[in-house]
Amino acid sequence: MATINVVTTSIFDQSADSIACFVEQDGALSAEALSGITKLFPAYESAKTKHNFVGRASSSLVLSGNRQGKVVDLIIMGLGQKNAQGVVDIERYRRSLGSLVRIVEARKGTSLAVAVPHAQLFGLSDDQLAKQTTIALEMARYHFDEFITDDDRRVKDLKTITLVGSDKSNEALQAGVHEGTIIAQAVNQCRRWIDLPAESLHPIHMATHAADISKKHGLKVTVFNEKEVAQMGMGGLAGVSQGSDRDCQFVIMEYSCGKKDAPMLAFVGKGITFDSGGLSIKPATSMENMKDDMSGAAAVINAMQVLAALKPKVNVVGIAPISENLPSGKAIKPGDILRFYNGKTAEVKNTDAEGRLILADALSYAVKHYKPDAIIDLATLTGSCAAALGPHFTGMMSKHDALVERVQQAAARTGEQLWRLPLPDEYKVAIKSSVADMSNIGSQRYMAGAVTAALFLQNFVGDVPWVHLDIAGTAYDVPDIAYYRPEGATGVGVRLLVELAMNWK
Ligand code: BES
Ligand code: ZN
Ligand code: ZN
């Protein structure tokens, strides 16, 4: 990935083929900006009038000018009005940066200079704003076209991005860009893993990537193969994997801050590299995107990479059970009973409810070996959650209000929206089984598939504070958020987990 440069000289001194700035609704440009603009773009005032451009949210004004015989585009992005707190919502700015990159791409620009607005406008510090600017720009320029051979269909790389600071010193900017780049690289790597076809990213690939990352960044890593998983008593993961020709993998990555008595966090991610449903096979259209079913594990592994670099003052273990879910003569069958790592059993009524089976072992493992202060799990767990909340809200289920509050605050800062769903004891009867401790699907009479899935998982966390995040709707194909692409992976969860660990006190 190309990097972002930082300068504090004038935006009009940059040689980029596209230059961009932001305006608040009905806000005036500085005299300096105005004179710079009118010099390069004499049509500015008349274009503004013609298009009635006043800086409304999601609006933009694009002009072409001439700089020493070369075309240069000016893109002014509207930020809309301040909110009730007297600031512009940072998420609106992030999305606006996304739209900016789309405009530059459509115009085949390859270099962009962005005048970073004043941080006070968003109620942030300079480094925070530089970090958010970097993350949004880098996420926006991610694209997955490595399998497309027609050059015209490939996204023209926006190779160079320069941030122009309004301040005299660029130290804060540099620091923010540095941190933002580390985070964005991990988010985009996470997205690429998800976007890769399941044949290009199967469990062994994924575990190998996790091991490579760990070695490169100095994390402790342990990987158990299928035989070891079965021997250890992880009947859920071994069971789900037994229909596949490929071995499952159980990945454990450990970040240590150097203090044994520091708080311990556990991040657990669902890693189904392809979910066919197993013998309870999915209809063809429901299977189309099931290469994304490892999004939780990808988020956890990539967040661990960031923690190794940014070194928060907590200890963190990242756990990823990784498997394919395929039908075959060896596959688990409806009616089978599996025994998990904590000794509990479940009747598998539907082999397509496989995520909870592999997470049951992973959560039990985290509880037993790490006694964490908190567990966060991320999983593309239920279509029910996607149906309830749509593509912009991750479902959050927990009994622990204090942990929910922390997670919500982290999410508010990163822009990954969460919505809490209930986790009521009265629905526990929905996952009753007459032959095992529980059933792996909820009874139809209770509906609430996202909730009954979470109630299943609750059996494996003991009394450790735990938040379950169902990312089935938010991990893939999310529309209208311009720093994502409408098709493909979002990398949801990476920023959130990092933010949570970095601010844990
Ligand atoms: N991976 C799916 C959930 C999913 C659905 C993720 C759509 C992303 C988009 C999961 O393994 C699954 O199949 N869940 C079933 C559970 C049901 C059988 C109880 C579902 O949601 O239909
Ligand atoms: Zn499934
Ligand atoms: Zn699944």
Task: Convert the pLDDT of each residue in 84-137 to its tens digit.
Answer: 999 999 999 999 999 999 999 999 999 999 999 999 999 999 999 999 999 999
How many angstroms does the Cα of residue 65 sit away from the middle of ligand 1? 51
* 332 contacts 440 by C-beta, under 8 angstroms: no
Whole-number average pLDDT of the chain? 97
Q: Which of 381, 431, 433, 468 to mutate to test the pocket of ligand 1 (most atoms within 8 A of CB)?
A: 381
pLDDT at 287 over 90: yes
**Phi/psi of residue 142, each to 5°?**
-65, 135
Closest C-alpha residue for ligand 1 atom 7: 383
- Tell me the C-alpha distance between 468 and 461, whole Å: 11
Rounded distance from Cα 274 to ligand 1 centre (Å): 12
Distance 101 CA to ligand 3 centre (A): 33
Rounded to an integer, the average pLDDT of 341-352 is: 99
Q: Looking at the CA of residue 382, tell me the nearest atom of ligand 1.
A: 21
**Which residues, by Cβ under 5 Å, contact ligand 3, an ion?**
272, 275, 293, 355
How close is the Cα of 354 to the center of ligand 2, in Å?
5
Q: How many A from CA of 445 to the centre of ligand 3?
A: 22
Sorted by sequence, the CB contacts under 8 Å of residue 328 that are 6+ apart come out as 243, 244, 245
| Section 403-407 average pLDDT | 98
Which pLDDT band holds residue 30 (cuts at 50, 70, 90)?
confident
Say yes or no to pLDDT of 33 above 70.
yes
| Exposed e or buried b per residue across 468-494, where buried means at least 16 C-beta atoms within 10 angstroms of its C-beta | bbbbbbbbbbbeebbbbbeebbbbbbb
Atom number, ligand 1, closest to the C-alpha of residue 277:
13
pLDDT band of 343, cuts 50, 70, 90: very high
Q: Which atom of ligand 1 has the smallest separation from the CA of 280?
A: 18
Q: Which of 102, 156, 282, 428 is an active site residue?
A: 282
Which atom, in ligand 1's list, is nearest to the CA of 355?
11
pLDDT at residue 1, as a whole number: 59
Burial 128-155 (b: 16+ CB within 10 A, else e): bbbbbbbbbbbbbbbbbeeeeeeeeeee
CB-defined site of ligand 1, < 6 Å: 275, 293, 350, 352-355, 380-384, 386, 441, 449, 472
Could you confirm whether 356 is annotated as catalytic? yes
> Is 191 an active-site residue?
no
Q: Which atom of ligand 1 is nearest to the CA of 449?
A: 19
**Best mutation site among 352, 384, 438, 439 for ligand 1 pocket (most ligand atoms within 8 Å of CB):** 352
User: Mean pLDDT across the stretch 208-215?
Assistant: 98
Report the C-alpha gap between 293 and 149 in whole angstroms: 27
Nearest CA to ligand 1 atom 17: 353
Cβ pair 281, 326 in contact under 8 A: no
Check residue 464 and report its DSSP letter: S
Percent of the chain with pLDDT over 90: 96
Q: Which of 349, 356, 406, 495 is catalytic?
A: 356
Cα of 328 to ligand 3 centre, how many Å? 17
Q: How much is the pLDDT for 32?
A: 87
Q: Which ligand is nearest to the CA of 476?
A: 1
Closest ligand by atom to 477 CA: 1
